[in-house]
Structure formats: structure tokens, C-alpha cells
Homo-oligomer: A and B are copies of this chain.
Amino acid sequence: MESRNRVLPLNFPALSRRSRALDPELTASPSTLTAHTSRVEKWLVHKLLEVMGNPPIRFVFWDGQEVASSAAAPTASVIVGDRPTLLRLLAQPSVHFGDAYSAGRLDVEGDLVKLMETVFAARPDPNRAGMWATLSRLLARRPRTNTLGGSRENIHHHYDLSNDFYRLWLDEQMVYTCAYYGAESMTLDEAQVAKMDHVCRKLELRPGDTVIEAGCGWGSLALHMAKHYGVTVRAFNISREQIAYARERAERVGLGNRVEYVESDYRNISGKCDAFVSVGMLEHVGKDNYTTLGEVVHRCLNRDGRALIHTIGRNRPQLMSAWIEKRIFPGAYPPTLREMMDIFEPWGFSVLDVENLRLHYARTLTHWLERYEQSIDRVREMFDERFVRAWRLYLSGAIAGFTTSTLQLFQVVLAHGTSNRVPWTRAHLYQRD
């Protein structure tokens, strides 16, 4: 028991000291911190487990006492370092699990991904579980608004952390969206190239086509299209760091005349194109703006053009985890297919093809997490331990989201309802070169 009691101080002495020093509760009365877990506290943890659908996990408290769901042998243990952490966790588990884990006041014994998978997989069917549905709603957090100004701030929060940070663990082309492992043996680098090709084939790009890209990240897809499909691209992004990086790169590889990176919001896009593509931006658009995004596509896309939207999604409507929305992705919301229809239906678009690549995102994230852990010392130097742990939790939770199907990955291909220049079959996507 003694050894458990010391898990946190042993692993994160600095953090542990710092957070105690910063927290009045923790300095006020040391005796309340070390006092044994009460019967009421343990009963409350049992209740929490019950509401969560009794996932086979174990809670271990600062005094070595334990609470486990009786369901099965625990797949992992949550170590709660002190009483205030427990009380906060009970009051607002969705936000505080992440915050306490990041601060090192809560730890996981066993595999973090496995723990998250266990929790996600146990979630009761919302049709049957009024309690859980209510709890989920209470724990979830309305995304911050995505007005023009709000979007800029939200995007800056995540994507402008530093290019050097992302370079540590993304593929060599810096593609920060789901890869496509067309062959199961592919490396991350290969799968990101395969994803870009999959997108280009779905768009049926032809040499000379003009392409508009909404939300272009560090610019890889635009360069790939220009280089391998002979098109010209105007790519939009509101992340200043990403745009600067992309422009520099386009010049370096001699594609500056064929790819233009524009630092502007998708709502400001004008002009016409043969293909409209958006990979991994919709998550940040916000439901209220879907009809506006559809209007942009409708306005820009030539009569016989093709469009593709690639996004994280859901099987049922559900707000983002409160912690993710608060600490990692402000303003983010993954839509259901039904919600996405607000983009297409008002404008009479024909949905031609929907593919769900959920398990490809789980593998992509697994590759990212491996590389992240390999660079962990460098990340700690760039930021601090709290950041290191927060991002570990985010990447692990995302893997679990995709493997347990609380998250989906949709690629939707569309065309104007009036166009008959649509692919006859999808065989061309699978032809070997």
C-alpha cells in the first residue's frame, strides 16, 4: 500500500510540489489531505463507476484503499493522489480527469489507451441509460463560438503551438489528419501520401484543374495535388504559423507559382474552382456555420466540379469531451452525418460517396503517439511536464475514441445536383498505377 501511496511523488515530484504550493486547499490543512478515504467517498466512486456502465477499472486512493467495479478483472488503475483531486473528480469527472492527469495529481497504472478504451466501451446505450445521457450532457461543454474572430483565436490555440513541436511526431510532410493505410503494412509516411492520393482520386483531378482548399494545415495536400496531378491550388488557412511554413515550403520546392496560400477564413473564399476540398477543417467550423460552408462550396464550385469534405464525426450527436474542448481544441465539434447534411441539402448537392475511415485514424494516432513518446524529452524542454501529460492523454483518448467508435472519420464526396459528370463507379480509386 505504501508503494501506491507514493506513486505520484515518485513519478512527478516537481509537479506534485508545484501544484500543492499553488493550491490553497492543499496548503491550508495538511491533515485533511492525508486522512483516510471515507466511506461516503468510496460510495460516491462506486456510483460514478455505475453511471459509467461499470467499466472494469480500479480506483486507488492516496491511502492505498481501492474501489473497483465488480464487473471483471481491472484493465488499468486510476491512482488518485489526494482528497481535493478526488472531490473535484467526483464533481466534474470529464474536465477534471484530464486536468488532474496533466497536473500529475492523478495517474494511471497500466496502459492509458487501454484504460480509455475500457471506459468508452462500457458507456451505456443512450437509448437505455437516462442517467448516463444526462451525465454526458452535464459533463459536456458547448463549444466556443466560431465567429471570424473566435475561429482565429480557437485555431491559434492549437495549431500555432509551434511547427517544431508538430515536426517531432507527425510524418515528414506534416499531415495532421487521418492517414489512409491502403496496404496494412504501410508506414505513417506512406499512409499520409496514400491518403492524399485517395483524396485526389476521389476528386478526379485532371491536369489544368483549379482547386480551392479550405483549411490547408501545413500545406502538404495542396503541394501534392500541384506536383502529382498538375493542378493549381488556392489554399486557405487562418493559422499564421502554418501559412508561413507552407509558403516557405512551396517556394523551396518550386511550386510557388502553382500553389497560393491565403491567410484567410473559409467564409472569405471567392472565385471559382473545378474541385473544392477540405480535410480536417469541419471539426472547427461549428454546426451553426454548416449552411454557410455549403454556400461557399455552392458559390465556388464550377458546374461539373467535385468536392470532398473529410472530417471527424459521430454516430450520434454528442458534444466534445469537456476537457478536450477546454484544453486542446476550443470550438471543436465532430458532427453526425445528419448534421453534415446542413452543408449539402440546402444547396441541392448530390452526395456521391461516403467512406468511414475510423480505424485508419486509430492507427494514425497510434503512430503519432509512438513518435510523440520517442520525442518526449524534447517536448518537455519545449513546454513542461503538464503539457507533456496533457498531450499524451489527448492522443491516447483519441485512439480510444476511434477504436471504440465514439468517433468516426467521414470522407464525403459531392457534386452539384445538376451535374452528370460524376464518376461511373469507384473502381478508379483502387486501380494500381
Contacts and interface: CB of A to CB of B under 8 A. Distances in A.
Interface stretch (A41-49, A270-278, A419-427): A419-427
Contacts of A403: 420
Interface in A347-363: 347-356, 358-359
B426 A405 contact: no
A257 interface: no
B417 A315 contact: yes
B182 A425 contact: yes
Contacts of A121: 418
B350 A353 contact: no
Given A315-B417, A405-B417, A426 B345 contact: no
Interface in A110-140: 121, 125-127
A408 B350 contact: yes
Contacts of A420: 359, 403, 405
Contacts of A344: 315
Contacts of A356: 350-353, 422
A237 to B, nearest CB: 29
Interface string A337-350: 11001001111111
A345 B350 contact: no
A162 to B, nearest CB: 34
Contacts of A126: 348
Q: Which of A181, A353, A420, A425 has the most CB of B within 10 A?
A: A425
A337 B355 contact: no
A430 to B, nearest CB: 4
